[in-house]
Amino acid sequence: MLTVDIHSQLKDLDEFLDCHKYLWQPKMLAGYPDPLRNIPESWVTFYRNSSIDQLCDLSVFKSTGKDLLCDMPDSLRQLVENLFQLCDLPRANISSDLIEEDDIYKKQILKLSVKKAHEFSLLGPYIKEHLDRLKIKNFIDVGGGKGFLSLAVSSCTCRQILIDQNRNLLNKGKGYFKRWKRSKDLECHEIFIDSDLFLDNFMLTEKSLIAGLHLCGDLSVYQISAASKNKDVNLINFGCCYHRISASNLNLSGMCRHILRPTDLRLALSPFAYKSMDTFSNNQIKNHYRYALYCLYQYFFNEVPAKSFLNKFDYPVIAKVADFSEFIDINLNNFNCFNPMNRVMKVYEDKISELASEMEIFEFFRRLFSRAIELYIILDRAKYIENKGLSTEVLQFFDGRVSPRNIGIVALNL
Ligand SMILES: C[S@@+](CC[C@H](N)C(=O)[O-])C[C@H]1O[C@@H](n2cnc3c(N)ncnc32)[C@H](O)[C@@H]1O
């Protein structure tokens, strides 16, 4: 891909999102049937005539850039191609030498879950290389949990600090350093971070790198803001749980015309890619059941269900065919609240099934924007860091099928 600067990429994304806001801003559940009218008829026909494999390919085009059908409506093709281009990012350059050099990888890191092994075996070598090359004196792992990122870079010579709110996790991190006979102790600090002041007591007068992997909601903003107070600092950040960001922590750059609402922030959490076609198909069926439940609840009780109600239901782990009666069977206790119970299936078939399918059609097209919304949040943060005078990059690190929140902001003092 062409290297695009953060300012231009954010500006282009802002314009694109503004042009298409009628497709991503409305939440179908809250506004049915109006949002459905925003989808061109030709797209709906295309959706209805496509196989599940074809829908899956279209849904993950934002990550693959491949396998678009030739007979799809031009306007839809144009949209996904534009989305792909706007969200395409340079990949982080990672050497795998450290995995061979440091036994800790074979003995511990690569034995973690597939997701964690994948993340640490890429991010560990990347950070370790920068710690050595830039002669960093302090490495600070913010919200580092059990300290696996710290462990992954622990063959470096610099001082290592782990910060987390959870003492038990910190103790585990300390224990790993001892068990694997690292040449130094891990300094652990139990801190509940609720602002950007948490680094102020550390007196980081020497060169430091402040990392945060998958810091939920506002925690990412506190890490970024605390780290970028100092021009000499180096910073790596990966966000997650965007739905927990406070409105005041959006538009940090001053360039975003759209202040994302909770439903938009949730959209940023949609899968970027799927492990397999079955995962995609399961998700489709699960969505159908959720929308159907939502509508049934409204039908029987004349009000919108609480999220806690929808979350009580079990969804089939492997559901290749949508069969609502089977869904009722595995959730009989929860369905008892619909009175009389024997009407549920009839109401579903007569009034709800088609409605739920239409909602899924709208949400399918809405989800094509998920990566654009996620990147909008991340570029806003990156632009904020750049405005503080740090040279900043936004890179893709992980395989989206394994680790969906795979975009890192890197600000290094070269
Ligand atoms: C999603 S986990 C990520 C853990 C680790 N960085 C990783 O990727 O394996 C988020 C971590 O941040 C910590 N955390 C969440 N909110 C926090 C807060 N307000 N202050 C300090 N730590 C917090 C949690 O205890 C947890 O360990």
Tell me the best of 149, 150, 164 to mutate to test the pocket of ligand 1, counting ligand atoms within 8 Å of each CB and taking the most.
164
Find the domain containing 357 and state its range: 276-368
Same domain, 359 and 375: no
Q: Are residues 212 and 347 in the same domain?
A: no
Ligand 1 atom closest to the CA of 148, numbered from 1: 9
Q: Is the pLDDT of residue 394 over 60?
A: yes
End residue of a domain, out of 338, 353, 368: 368
Q: How far is the CA of 245 from the centre of ligand 1 (A)?
A: 15
Question: What's the pLDDT at 319?
Answer: 56
What confidence score (pLDDT) does residue 385 get?
Answer: 96
Q: Are residues 351 and 240 in the same domain?
A: no
Closest residue by Cα to atom 1, ligand 1, is 214
225 vs 219: CA distance, rounded Å: 10
- Per-residue pLDDT band for 2 (boundaries 50, 70, 90) equals low
> Could you report the per-residue pLDDT of 88-126, keeping only the tens digit for each?
999 999 988 899 899 999 999 999 999 999 999 999 999
The alpha carbon of 142 and the centre of ligand 1 are apart by a number of angstroms equal to 7
Residue 238: count of CB within 10 angstroms of its CB: 21
Beta bridge partners of 139: 160, 209
For residue 91, the cross-strand partners are 396
- Residues with Cβ within 8 Å of 276's Cβ and at least 6 positions away in sequence, in order, are none
How many domains is the chain built from? Answer: 2
Q: What is the pLDDT of residue 136?
A: 95
Residue 310 lies in a domain: yes
Which has more pLDDT, 229 or 238?
238
Q: Which of 139, 191, 155 is nearest to 170 (CA)?
A: 191
Instruction: Please check whether residues 103 and 153 belong to one and the same domain.
Output: yes
Lowest-confidence range among 6-20, 98-112, 268-282, 366-380?
268-282
Global pTM reads 0.93
Cα dihedral 279/281/285/288 (nearest 10): 110
Ligand 1 mean position, distance from CA 392 (Å)? 23
If you average pLDDT over every residue of the chain, what do you get? Answer: 92
pLDDT band at 203 (very low <50, low <70, confident <90, very high): confident
Q: Which residues line ligand 1 at a C-beta cut-off of 6 Å?
A: 143-145, 148, 164-166, 169, 191-194, 213-214, 216, 219, 240
Distance of alpha carbon 254 from alpha carbon 384, whole angstroms = 8
Strand 407-411 and strand 392-396: the pairing is antiparallel
Compute the distance between CA of residue 393 and CA of residue 243 in angstroms, rounded to an integer: 24
Are 250 and 285 contained in the same domain?
A: no
User: What is the domain-level CATH number for residue 161?
Assistant: 3.40.50.150
Asked if 196 and 126 sit in the same domain, the reply is: yes
- Distance, in Å, from the CA atom of 141 to the CA atom of 119, rounded to the nearest integer, reads 15
128 pLDDT more than 70: yes
- pLDDT tens-digit profile of 4-61? 799 999 999 999 999 999 999 977 677 777 788 899 999 999 999 999 999 999 999 9
Q: Which pLDDT score, from 0 to 100, does residue 65 have?
A: 87
The percent of residues above 70 in pLDDT, for the chain, comes to 97
Q: Render pLDDT for 152-202 as a digit per residue (tens, 0 to 9).
A: 999 999 999 999 999 999 999 999 999 999 989 999 999 999 999 999 988
In a domain, residue 337? The reply is yes
Q: Which atom of ligand 1 is nearest to the CA of 240?
A: 1
Non-local CB neighbours of 160 within 8 Å, separated by 6+ positions: 138, 139, 141, 150, 153, 154, 184, 186, 187
Q: Is residue 286 situated within a structural domain?
A: yes
Task: Tell me phi and psi for residue 29, to 5 degrees.
Answer: -60, -40
Residue 60 lies in a domain: no
The first and second tokens of residue 303, run together, are: 């009000």
pLDDT-wise least confident of 65-69, 78-82, 300-304, 376-380: 65-69
- pLDDT category of residue 68 using cuts at 50, 70 and 90: confident
Ligand 1, closest atom to CA 222?
19
Residue 148, pLDDT > 80, answer yes
Q: Does residue 187 lie in a domain region?
A: yes
Is 75 inside any structural domain?
no
Residue range 367-384: mean pLDDT, rounded:
97
User: What's residue 408's pLDDT?
Assistant: 98
Q: Supply the residue whose CA is at minimum distance from atom 14 of ligand 1.
A: 143
Contact status, residue 139 vs residue 209, Cβ threshold 8 Å: yes
Residues 145 and 238 in one domain: yes
Q: Which one of 219, 223, 398 would you pick to mutate in the ligand 1 pocket, going by the greatest count of ligand atoms within 8 A of its CB? A: 219
- Which percentage of the chain shows pLDDT scores above 90? 73
Question: How does residue 321 score in pLDDT terms, banded at 50, 70 and 90?
Answer: low
| All residues at 6 or more sequence positions from 376 whose CB lies less than 8 Å from its CB, including other chains | 10, 13, 14, 17, 256, 258, 260, 268
CA of 219 to the centre of ligand 1 (A): 8
Cα(53)–Cα(63) distance, rounded to whole angstroms? Answer: 15
Angstrom distance (rounded) from CA 294 to CA 49: 26
Do 356 and 293 meet the contact criterion of CB atoms below 8 Å apart? no
Q: Give the pLDDT of residue 269.
A: 95
Confidence (pLDDT) at 320: 55
What pLDDT does residue 144 have?
98
Contact 34, 26 (CB under 8 A): yes
* The pLDDT of residue 322 is above 70: no
Spatial separation of the C-alpha atoms in residues 150 and 146, rounded to whole Å? 9
Is 44 within a domain? no
Phi/psi at 277 (5° precision): -60, -35
Whether 214 and 293 share a structural domain:
no
Q: Is 251 exposed, middle or buried (0-12, 13-18, 19+ CB in 10 A)?
A: middle
Q: Is 113 inside any structural domain? A: yes
Question: Is the same domain home to 291 and 381?
Answer: no
Same domain, 168 and 248: yes
Together in a domain, 190 and 216? yes
User: Are 161 and 214 in a shared domain?
Assistant: yes
